[in-house]
Amino acid sequence: MALGKNEISGIKGVKSGEIASVTLPGGRDGFVYHTALPRIWHKAVPEAMTRADMLTEIDTIALKAGSKYLWPAMPIATYLATQANFYGLAAVDGMLPVGFSPVYMEEESDQRELALGTLDTGDVNIEIKFNSTVVSPTMEATALYYIEPNKPLGQFTTFVTDNYEYTGAGGEFTIKDLSLDGPKGTGIKAMHISSTAFSAADFSVSTAQGTEIPVWRGRTDVDDYLMDHKTFQTGGRSPQAGFTHLDLAGNFLGDVHSMDNWGNHKLKLTMTGADTFQIITEKVSPAFIDRGI
């Protein structure tokens, strides 16, 4: 499906220590968005902000519709590691990619089925919180959108973060409270664990009849091979230092795991030492109205 490109005029609050807002127009005059590309400069003599600079000059990034967050605020270091660098998105100085339809997802006839429709959301805002250390920030932004009439929210990529602490010296750590809930049609795409202090991961779910089905099981030292196997057409993934990635879907929307008929779930980690870590779960969210917005 063909993409259009348009400069975004609605940018506010680009100041040191403030939350800048990039507005993606919605409603009847809005678009079905593929990607938004904020471009950021800083310093007294303006320079494009590199990804390395972003780690110190930007605090968090979030996506908001009205008073509700479609993406919760996430530290920029975590966002770049799990949403840009891991997937091999090009690092262009100044550019902070915000994607709703992953460019690596492939379906029959190369159809891109994921997108952020805004017909029923009104305007959507990308919130970028600057640290107080940034000097003279300025911003422009470009939106890529499908050349078609605007639609309701539909399916788009989102994520949620859960926090955990393991205090033992090593052994089995079972997690049963991952934030995997969502409206009918929600699917799980990937999990990024900000820890390497375990040697095996066992993620399983049960059906409505109580049958346990392993989704991802085994040693973490074969994960890189599995990711390359599922993504060979685009050159694989780039595992990030300090993270363990469970890339369940690879490049294929059809491999996103529907959670409609799941019962209980559990993630069992074979820990090698104590650690405090986060699990960032990427999901494909199907509906707007069911989120109570």
Q: Please name each of the domains of the chain with its CATH number.
A: 3-146 (2.60.120.730), 156-291 (2.60.120.730)
pLDDT of the residue at 289: 35
Q: Helix, strand, or coil here: 73?
A: strand
d(CA 148, CA 69): 25
Yes or no: say if 79 and 61 are a contact pair by the CB < 8 Å rule.
yes
Give the residues across from 144 on adjacent strands. 5, 35
With helix as H, strand as E and coil as C, how does 133-155 read?
CCCCCEEEEEEEEECCCCCCCCC
Q: Which of 66, 13, 29, 9 is nearest to 288 (CA)?
A: 66
Q: Which of 200, 213, 189, 201 is nearest to 264 (CA)?
A: 213
pLDDT of the residue at 287: 45
Yes or no: say if 275 and 195 are a contact pair by the CB < 8 Å rule.
yes
**Weakly modelled stretches of the chain, pLDDT under 70:** 1, 106-112, 286-293
Tokens of 75: 């530290």
Tokens of 153: 């929210």
Q: Which of 118, 90, 110, 108 is nearest to 31 (CA)?
A: 118
Q: Which of 39, 290, 42, 12 is nearest to 125 (CA)?
A: 12
Distance of CA 47 to the CA centre of its chain: 27
pLDDT of the residue at 111: 53
Q: Which uninterrupted H or E stretch holds 30?
A: none
Burial class of residue 202, CB neighbours in 10 A (0-12, 13-18, 19+): middle
Spatial strand order of the sheet with 19-24 comes to: 11-12, 19-24, 124-130, 58-65, 68-75
pLDDT digits (tens, 9 = 90+) for 251-283: 888 888 888 877 788 999 999 999 999 999 999
pLDDT of the residue at 286: 67
Give me the torsion for CA of 8, 161, 113, 108, rounded to 10°.
130
176 dihedral zone (left: phi>0; alpha: psi -120 to 50; beta): alpha
pLDDT of the residue at 112: 57
Q: Global pTM?
A: 0.87
